[in-house]
């Protein structure tokens, strides 16, 4: 082999080696570029994400005082809104109450015409007074027993007493004394016996039990009231008898009709007339008289009513439209009903009464009071 051939061979080998080195270097450079690109990109992404997170945290930190302030302000506004709502509700309720009170006052004022003024009474007044309805449906409440007086204390009476302990209310006793004096003056009869007046609840129960056992419950129910439902509890009812017989008077006896015709002039009525048994629920008792006062007793007598009917009728009349009663002497009385629901702001019964005139306020023992006055 010549020197030129060896030189060419050596040069070919060197060329191949340089070419391989170049190829390897290119590969290494490519790998490095790819690796750097991948890892650099990931690193950059991480740096970018970290920067973003820091930016958000810094933004939140910077915004937190404002958010807190807004939250506090929002809570304050909400609290103020609730307070305003409560105040508004309270004021609306107060306005409603004022309006209702004004309406009630206006209504009361409309029920109190000129010449009348309101007076306040305890609600017990419904169960006090001389016009109380006491029967099987309306119990007596024993609120006036302290007003009882002994009939024995009346001096100069031309009549007898069934008991020295016989009691009536003072007003009833005074008018009974006057009636029996009128009877004696008209008839000259001294044979009158006052058999019974006030009766306690226990006495009524004993009497009812005794009559039920001796005569029968049907008779007892017709003539006797059980304890709590008898007019005798009030001290305003009286049973009149005959001293000679020791028993009750009867219409067929001499002079007895005088009581039926003239009792009203002294404020009494025959409480259980024969024609009203279906209304009173009690059999005819021509000896039982009840004190109501002259105007009402006279009206009941003239109209041929019983107390139950008169009470029902008076409930239709008010102070603005009173019921008028004219007596035989020409005097005129007015009567009107006031419901027990007509209350003052103090919770008391508000009753319109006439100014400058005498009047009485009596409960009806049902659901209100009755005012009676002379015009």
Task: Report the pLDDT value the prediction gives residue 346, as an integer from 0 to 100.
Answer: 93
User: Given pLDDT bands bounded at 50, 70 and 90, which one contains residue 86?
Assistant: confident
Task: Report the pLDDT value the prediction gives residue 10, as an integer from 0 to 100.
Answer: 59
Q: Do 211 and 223 meet the contact criterion of CB atoms below 8 Å apart?
A: yes
**What is the average pLDDT score of the chain?**
86
Asked if pLDDT for residue 258 goes beyond 70, the answer is: yes
Q: Do 165 and 149 meet the contact criterion of CB atoms below 8 Å apart?
A: no
Q: Do the strands 349-354 and 116-121 form a parallel or antiparallel pair, or are they unpaired?
A: antiparallel
Mean pLDDT of 94-107: 68
Asked if pLDDT for residue 202 goes beyond 60, the answer is: yes
Structure tokens at 327: 């007596």
Domains of the chain: 119-131+307-375 (3.30.200.180), 144-291 (3.30.1380.10)
Residue scoring higher pLDDT (211 or 286): 286
Contacts of 317-322 with CB under 8 Å at 24 or more apart are 318/111, 319/111, 319/112, 319/113, 319/116, 319/352, 319/371, 320/110, 320/111, 320/113
Asked if pLDDT for residue 105 goes beyond 60, the answer is: no
Q: Do 364 and 133 meet the contact criterion of CB atoms below 8 Å apart?
A: yes
Q: Do the strands 323-326 and 192-196 form a parallel or antiparallel pair, or are they unpaired?
A: unpaired
User: Given pLDDT bands bounded at 50, 70 and 90, which one contains residue 39?
Assistant: low
Mean pLDDT of 153-179: 93
Q: Residue 329 to residues 59, 186, 325, 343: CA-CA distances in angstroms?
A: 106, 19, 11, 37
Length of the chain in residues, anyone? Answer: 375
Least confident piece of the model among 77-86, 216-225, 354-363: 77-86
Residue scoring higher pLDDT (308 or 50): 308
User: Given pLDDT bands bounded at 50, 70 and 90, which one contains residue 232?
Assistant: very high
Residue scoring higher pLDDT (42 or 126): 126
Task: Report the pLDDT value the prediction gives residue 225, as an integer from 0 to 100.
Answer: 85
Task: Report the pLDDT value the prediction gives residue 95, as an integer from 0 to 100.
Answer: 78
Cβ neighbour number for residue 335 with a 10 Å cutoff: 23
Mean pLDDT of 243-270: 97
Mean pLDDT of 202-224: 86
Asked if pLDDT for residue 316 goes beyond 90, the answer is: yes
Is pTM beyond 0.75? Reply is no
User: Which percentage of the chain shows pLDDT scores above 90?
Assistant: 62
Q: Please, is 262 exposed, middle or buried when counting C-beta atoms within 10 Å of its C-beta (0-12, 13-18, 19+)?
A: middle
Asked if pLDDT for residue 355 goes beyond 90, the answer is: yes
User: Given pLDDT bands bounded at 50, 70 and 90, which one contains residue 260?
Assistant: very high
Q: What angle do CA 109, 114, 116 make, to 5 degrees?
A: 80
Asked if pLDDT for residue 44 goes beyond 60, the answer is: no
Asked if pLDDT for residue 123 goes beyond 90, the answer is: yes
């Amino acid at each position: 082999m010549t020197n030129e051939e060896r030189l060419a061979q050596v040069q070919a080998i060197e060329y191949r080696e340089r070419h391989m080195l170049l190829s390897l270097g290119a590969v290494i450079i490519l790998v490095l570029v790819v690796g750097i690109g991948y890892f650099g990109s990931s690193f950059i992404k991480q740096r970018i994400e970290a920067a973003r997170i820091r930016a958000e945290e810094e933004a939140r930190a910077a915004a937190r005082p404002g958010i807190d302030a807004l939250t506090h302000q929002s809570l304050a506004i909400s609290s103020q809104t609730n307070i305003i709502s409560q105040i508004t509700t309270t004021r609306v309720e107060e306005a409603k109450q004022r309006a209702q009170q004004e309406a009630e006052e206006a209504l009361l004022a409309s029920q109190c015409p000129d010449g009348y003024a309101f007076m306040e009474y305890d609600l017990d007044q419904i169960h006090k007074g001389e016009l109380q309805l006491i029967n099987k449906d309306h119990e007596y409440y024993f609120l006036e027993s302290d007003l009882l007086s002994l009939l024995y204390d009346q001096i100069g009476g031309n009549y007898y007493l069934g008991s020295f302990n016989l009691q009536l209310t003072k007003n009833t006793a005074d008018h009974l004394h006057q009636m029996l004096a009128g009877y004696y003056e008209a008839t000259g009869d001294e044979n009158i016996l006052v058999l019974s007046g006030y009766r306690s609840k226990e006495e009524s129960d004993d009497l009812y039990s005794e009559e039920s056992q001796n005569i029968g419950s049907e008779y007892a129910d017709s003539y006797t009231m059980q304890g709590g439902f008898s007019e005798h509890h009030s001290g305003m009812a009286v049973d009149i008898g005959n001293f000679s017989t020791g028993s009750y008077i009867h219409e067929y006896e001499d002079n007895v009709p005088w009581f039926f015709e003239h009792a009203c002039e002294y404020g009494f009525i025959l409480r259980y007339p024969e024609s009203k048994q279906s209304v009173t629920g009690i059999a005819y008792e021509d000896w039982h008289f009840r004190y109501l006062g002259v105007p009402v007793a006279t009206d009941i007598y003239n109209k041929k009513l019983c107390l139950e009917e008169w009470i029902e009728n008076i409930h239709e009349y008010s102070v603005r439209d009173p019921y008028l009663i004219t007596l035989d002497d020409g005097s005129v009385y007015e009567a009107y009903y006031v419901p027990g629901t007509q209350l003052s702001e103090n919770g008391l019964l508000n009753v319109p009464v006439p100014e400058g005139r005498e009047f009485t306020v009596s409960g009806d023992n049902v659901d209100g009071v009755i005012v009676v006055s002379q015009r």
